[in-house]
Amino acid sequence: MTTTTTSKTPEATDREAAALAGLAVPAPPTLRASVLVEVGLLDRYGRIDSPLGPVVVAWNGLGVVSVDIAGDDGAFEASHLASTGRRAIPSEVPSRLANAIARRLDGDRRVRIRLDLRGHSPFEQDVWRKALEIPRGEVRPYGWIAAEIGRPKAVRAVGTALGHNPVPLVVPCHRVVRSDGSIGQYSLGGPKNKRTILGAEGLDPDAMEDAAKRGERLVGCASTRIVCWPTCRTGRHMLERNRRPFRSLAEAGAAGYRPCKVCRPVAAAA
């Protein structure tokens, strides 16, 4: 006689029920952390190379949380907890994220890096978003950001927001200089590192400061009658004999020059 599946519907015997209950297994130890990281309740951190040497990157499923100079793991975890309220666990930086950061540092602005900026004010986020627009090898003054985000008088607040940038290198706050033309402070290890990284991007910070001291805040092209920030990429092709330094936008305007539509020099900073 064969057992049929429809004539009678058997209950599981104790042995069968026990065997099936025995198929319960514990979740892999990685599951809990993966879930919490993905929803942004726990962060991972790891080291990557940068022009400033090794730096620590922290991230979760929502994006990159912080970038800091590499140091002691314990100290990093403590400061991360204090600043974000979340624990961070050591991990390998995913190659996709490491490559994206490297490409961004190389000046590829097409690469998108998601950022987790929860807990930061909308003003700070506006400042950092605007800093993202500054191309590699160029700098803008604080006043430029203030004017671009529609808060032309908040130059000092822009400087403070850049000082609080949790993701330096990813958000290139090193490309923002003081309105008087001096290099200014840097949140990732101080002004020396700012000079190093600007140098790595092909700029000469000393020459930039010397030019600012001489009053050369803007540069006009005599052939096009367009005036730019000195590091604007459109101005790099101008012949030396066409180069005209200006102290301010007003001075350039009086000389018949119009502001560049790419780097948008503004009256507030010039």
Partner 1 sequence: MDADVRLTTDLADDLDRAFDALVVAHQDRLYTIALRMLGDAGDAEEAAQDALVRAYRALATYESARIRELKLRGWLTTIVLNRCRSVAARRASRGPKPLSIDADQTRPIEAAAPEGAGPSASAERHAARERWATRLKALPASYRTAVVLRHVDGMSYPEAAAVLGRPEGTVKAQVHRGIALLRTMLEAEGRRELEEMTA
Chain positions contacting partner 1, by CB under 8 A: 2-6, 8-12, 16-17, 19-28, 30-32, 34-36, 38-39, 41, 61
Side chain identity at residue 80, one-letter code: H
Nearer to partner 1 by Cβ, of 85 and 190: the residue is: 85
Asked whether 167 and 68 are in contact (CB, 8 A), the reply is: no
Q: Report DSSP state, residue 166.
A: S
Nearer to partner 1 by Cβ, of 22 and 122: the residue is: 22
Nearer to partner 1 by Cβ, of 17 and 81: the residue is: 17
- Distance of CA 23 to CAs 14, 177, 256, Å? 14, 63, 83
Q: Residue 173 catalytic?
A: yes
Q: What's the closest the beta carbon of residue 81 comes to partner 1, in angstroms? A: 15
* Annotated active-site residue in 173, 232, 260, 263: 173
Q: What's the closest the beta carbon of residue 80 comes to partner 1, in angstroms? A: 16
Interstrand relation of 226-228 and 218-221 (parallel, antiparallel or unpaired): antiparallel
Q: How far apart are CA 124 and CA 188, in angstroms?
A: 17
Q: What's the closest the beta carbon of residue 60 comes to partner 1, in angstroms? A: 12
Interstrand relation of 243-246 and 88-90 (parallel, antiparallel or unpaired): unpaired
Nearer to partner 1 by Cβ, of 22 and 74: the residue is: 22
DSSP-based three-state secondary structure for 136:
coil
Q: What's the closest the beta carbon of residue 44 comes to partner 1, in angstroms? A: 15
Q: What's the closest the beta carbon of residue 65 comes to partner 1, in angstroms? A: 15
- What tokens does 88 get? 């961070």
Rounded to the nearest angstrom, the gap between the alpha carbon of residue 269 and the centroid of all alpha carbons in its chain is: 23
Asked whether 206 and 237 are in contact (CB, 8 A), the reply is: no
CA angle at residue 151 from 180 to 177, to 5 degrees? 25
Nearer to partner 1 by Cβ, of 7 and 95: the residue is: 7
Sign of CA dihedral 186, 188, 191, 195: negative
Residues with active-site annotation: 173
